[in-house]
Chains A and B, each alone.
Chain A
Amino acid sequence: MENRFGVKDFFLFLFLGVLIVMVAMAMVQYDRQWTQLNVIKQELSNQTRDLTNLRQAMAGNTFGQPTTRAVGDVMPGFTNTQQSRLAAVTELPGYSAGDWMVQATATPPPRLTPLLDSDLFGSRIGEYIFDSLATRDPETLGFVPSVTRGWEESADGNTVTFFLRRDVVFSDGVPMTADDVVFTFELTANPAIEAERARVYLQYVDKVTKVDQYTVRFTFKQYYFQNFEAVASMGILPKHFYEKYSPKDFNNSVGLVLGSGPYRLQTPTDWKPEPGKPLELVRNERYWGTRPPFDRIIWQMQPDPGARLIAFKNGETDRFGAQPEQYKDLIKDPNFMARVADYKFTAPDDGYFYVGWYQIVNGQKTPFADKRVRQAMTMLIDRDGIVRDILYGYGQVATGPFHPLTKQFDDTISAWPYDPAKAKALLADAGYVDRDSDGIVDGKDGKPLKYKLSYPSASSLMERICLNIKDTMRRGGVLCETEGVEWSVLLDRIRNKQVEAQLSGWGGSVEGDLYQIFHSSGIAGQGDNRVSYASSELDQVIEKARTTVDEAERNRLWKRSHQILHEDQPYTFLFYDDNLLFVDKRFENINTTKLGLNASREWFVPADKQKWGK
């Protein structure tokens, strides 16, 4: 009975436990201090470098000379620049820099190192941290200089020469030169770097040459209309920073992020994903252009959409992207609307929803190989009804693969109507009539016209759309079975052409290429023309458009392709859905542009309404 575990021992163990926990916590705290210390050390060394540069500039007597501003002057012929637009914002009444912008996102990014990230989130962060050679102007949709003073394009479009500004510095104070641009493209092209996706976009680049310290020339193997966008939109990486890492270290890194953009990570090397910890970007104090308005941009991680909404209602986050059914209720809530502003907008890169009609399944021709059947199918889908009832009106019916805001879109085309009578006539024309009076149309062999409509099972929106289609099809005398399939399985079936009809979405861009999904060369093998649609006229138009340098002529061709696709209906293009966004009312200067909402770099919070960081 001597060695029994008594109350005294219990307290002893409790005491020991508490002691251990406290030691552990002290270690955590020490670790935090150590990280902070590193940040300060880094900052100090950067500042020392700045001071040295400043001193040299003063010794060389170039300091304060009017020439220092001229280095960033744009070349003649370029009226707008990214900076001129940003500078205009600072002139607005009530403009004030400061405050933070806090937003929520579902999943933390697995890694932030550029080139390697495959997810959308990584590229969204990249926009804040890296600068590209040119950006799209949200009003004209054309390219305007960013870190460049301008560029010269050869008549055949196969050579582009960019002239860099001389005042651009990376966030550690080192100036950006042509070497950095060349390095960025060499790094991407290096097969040891796991950037296969980025390489695909740059496959037509033949070589990148440094003409002088601030001039870079790109030569392309052949003209392709997306060549300019591909090189102009790459984030420029600093050579002095990234060349220290071997391809293996680079591939395995998670947070090697240093750029010349308006924001930066607290430390360029130490970031790693930590569950539950927000991702913070801080303002780049050395930013070469117009000072960005917010001191910090923060992403809170919140996978649960319900909790995301409550966090936004509580004011813990500043913006919330709503679903149509949430949006329609929320805008009627006076308490909610007193604190927030709502924005409904559409952007070219949103893409469209469609039903693809597979003309060949398992090597056999399907009824959809007949154009009349496809047109009938489109007229048996009540697209206005889908937008009205399922999207609550927050969307618009699509007529083709191009977004209405782009120059490729032909606005003379009106969508096929929902017209069961006309559809039945077309079906009868194609040989499908109700032969046994059961309300279902039958083919010449007496078999009823029926098909299976597959959709990704994870999407409840798509499920509702499919059920709506099933309903209107049945009323038109066509049997449609719906089948939700897990995405990876569905992709496998699509690749092997084992689905009959499929509901899906496709992303868009300001100037998209149709070659991949509608050119007949994509039918064979693993191509993306999975519906096996072939039109020799469309093939010619696409081929011509891809190599046409003149933009107006190219857009005329794209419009023609839009008309052909509208007539042939290889897909039934369903709709473009609106983006529904709520933003805290303290933010001002939020406008709709042709690219969607204007960039958050153009938003600001007036001084008296600022909430964070004071």
Chain B
Amino acid sequence: MLTYLIRRILLLIPTLLGITILVFGVMAAAPGGIGGPLLNERGGQVGGANQQRIREYYEKRYGLNKPYAIQYLRWLNNISPVGFRVNEDGSLGRIAVKWPDLGESITQRRPVSDLLKDALPVTLILNLVSIPLVYVIGIVSGIIAARNRGNAADVGIGTSQLALWSIPTIWSGVLLIGFLANREYVNWFPTGGLTSVGSLDASFLPSHVDGRWQAGFLVDRVWHLILPVVCLSYGGFAFLSKLMRGSILDNLGADYVRTARAKGLNENVILYRHVFRNSLLSLITVAAAILPSLLGGSIVVETIFGLPGMGKLSVDAVSLRDRELVLGLTFVGGLIGLTSMVLRDVLYAMADPRVTYD
């Protein structure tokens, strides 16, 4: 097990290198040049020679005037925990142990790590609410469907969840705002953002101020989260529910269930104590995707509800050819994705005694 684990972890390094080289190559080959739009925009409408001057200033500033191989190796050196120190003027210093540096975004001129720090909380808060919701509803409805296999409940759950799954968020999001956050219909929810005007001045918990009730910061925040969370979660039920249903039905047909029934065990005990636990095994595979998906945002939901998180950050980075930001996002995303895959395999071996890697 330990050798397997070490082997897997060591394998992460070439995989990550491959990912970053690929992304770097694509960015370098993209028409319009790296950070091109921005360097152009900075030049804006100032004259030709002046624009050239501005372009050169920023190309030098971000090292874009060096050969691609050097640029990549520099980036690699910066993210590596052991490597050359980079001096103020850009020359290389001594080899040392240092804090990995994801570089600076060309379009926003801020450290990539800062941009991640800004965008991550939004994505995390949305996903931390919606993912458990999806799992609970998916699993519970899967069990109900399996118990009532072939009945109206099974068909009803199946069709309604598939129907939800087929509704595109880009449409439902706009409809939700248009009908539930619109004074012309019902105005129950805010149109977007995370805080209302003035709620930052309010107290944290609901309170009684000047003779009237004030919702406070917390309630306001929850109120803003409802519509985006609905949009993020409704499409996810079908998949988990079907998976759970299939897995439970498989197990219900297994020999050990027949044995249990023959022993005269209560059907509920069979279902929840034996079948349910065994059925969860197949969900481990799916659960490995939780970690990466916690960090991955949805560009559609983020745009409609005005919550710029990881999704918008990534899409903007690509469309503006912000190489440092794209590389940083791929690197972090790749690292977390690959780690959770290793974690999944380990968990599998722990949960299911039939699985070994030796």
Which A residues form the contact surface with B (CB < 8 A)? 25, 29, 32, 100, 102, 107-108, 110-111, 116, 118, 194, 196-197, 200-201, 203, 248, 251-252, 254, 272-278, 280, 298, 300-304, 306-308, 310-311, 313-316, 335, 486-489, 491-492, 506-507, 515-516, 522, 525-529, 612
Contacts and interface: CB of A to CB of B under 8 A. Distances in A.
Nearest to A492: B32
Nearest to B47: A516
B15 interface: no
Residue among A108, A118, A515, A527 with the most chain B CB within 10 A?
A118
A462 to B, nearest CB: 17
A304 B57 contact: no
A111 B108 contact: yes
17 contacts: A29-B217, A32-B204, A272-B118, A275-B119, A276-B306, A301-B306, A301-B308, A302-B192, A304-B192, A304-B306, A306-B304, A314-B187, A486-B32, A488-B37, A492-B33, A522-B48, A525-B48
Contacts, number: 172
Contacts of B312: 303
Nearest to B45: A507
A494 to B, nearest CB: 10
B294 to A, nearest CB: 15
Nearest to A495: B40
B197 A310 contact: no
Given A275-B118, A278-B195, A506-B45, A307 B54 contact: no
Contact of B303 (A254, A304, A515, A525): A304
- Give the 9 A-B CB pairs with smallest separation, nearest first: A488-B32, A276-B194, A527-B48, A516-B47, A110-B108, A302-B306, A311-B191, A488-B37, A275-B308
Nearest to B34: A488
A251 B305 CA distance: 32
A581 B299 CA distance: 28
A276 B197 contact: no
Given A310-B177, A488-B36, A300 B47 contact: no
Given A197-B42, A315-B183, A492 B36 contact: yes
Given A200-B46, A489-B31, A311 B108 contact: no
A584 B74 CA distance: 53
B182 interface: yes
Contact of B32 (A194, A489, A526): A489
Contacts of A272: 118
A203 B49 CA distance: 12
A252 B112 CA distance: 12
B246 interface: no
A111 B109 contact: yes
Nearest to B272: A7
Contacts of B52: 525-526
A200 B177 contact: no
Contacts of B204: 25, 29, 32
B40 A488 contact: yes
A55 to B, nearest CB: 32
B41 interface: yes
B50 interface: yes
Contacts of B200: 277, 280
A278 B37 contact: no
A488 B304 contact: no
B174 interface: yes
B326 to A, nearest CB: 14
B219 to A, nearest CB: 12
A448 B198 CA distance: 65
B36 A197 contact: no
A316 B191 contact: yes
Contacts of B195: 276-278
Contact of A306 (B50, B177, B183, B184): B177
B323 interface: no
A215 B305 CA distance: 51
A302 B191 contact: yes
A107 B193 CA distance: 12
B307 A275 contact: yes
Contact of A276 (B54, B193, B198): B193
A612 B306 CA distance: 23
A303 B303 CA distance: 6
A108 B118 CA distance: 12
A263 to B, nearest CB: 16
B337 interface: no
A527 to B, nearest CB: 4
B245 interface: no
B182 A200 contact: no
B197 A316 contact: yes
A275 B36 CA distance: 25
Nearest to B304: A304
Given A315-B183, A488-B36, A196 B194 contact: no
Contact of A197 (B44, B88, B174, B178): B44
B224 to A, nearest CB: 8
Given A25-B218, A315-B183, A278 B193 contact: yes
Contacts of A300: 192-193, 197, 306
B193 A306 contact: no
B80 interface: no
B32 A491 contact: yes
A595 B307 CA distance: 34
B178 A314 contact: no
B308 A527 contact: no
B309 interface: yes
B53 A196 contact: yes
Residue among A251, A301, A307 with the most chain B CB within 10 A?
A307
A288 B204 CA distance: 36
Contacts of B193: 276-278, 300-302
A516 B224 CA distance: 49
Nearest to B306: A302
Interface in B269-321: 302-309, 312, 321
A527 B49 contact: yes
B197 A526 contact: no
A278 B191 CA distance: 13
A313 B183 contact: yes
Residue among B48, B107, B197 with the most chain A CB within 10 A?
B48
B110 interface: yes
B309 A275 contact: yes
B36 A491 contact: yes
A252 B88 CA distance: 14
Given A507-B45, A527-B48, A108 B110 contact: no
Contacts of A506: 45
B249 interface: no
Contacts of A528: 47-48, 51
A276 B122 contact: yes
Interface in B158-213: 174, 177-178, 181-184, 187, 190-198, 200, 204
Contact of A194 (B47, B61, B303): B61
Nearest to A490: B32
B84 interface: no
A501 to B, nearest CB: 20
A395 to B, nearest CB: 21
Given A276-B194, A302-B193, A310 B307 contact: no
Contacts of A111: 108-110
A200 B110 contact: no
B181 A310 contact: yes
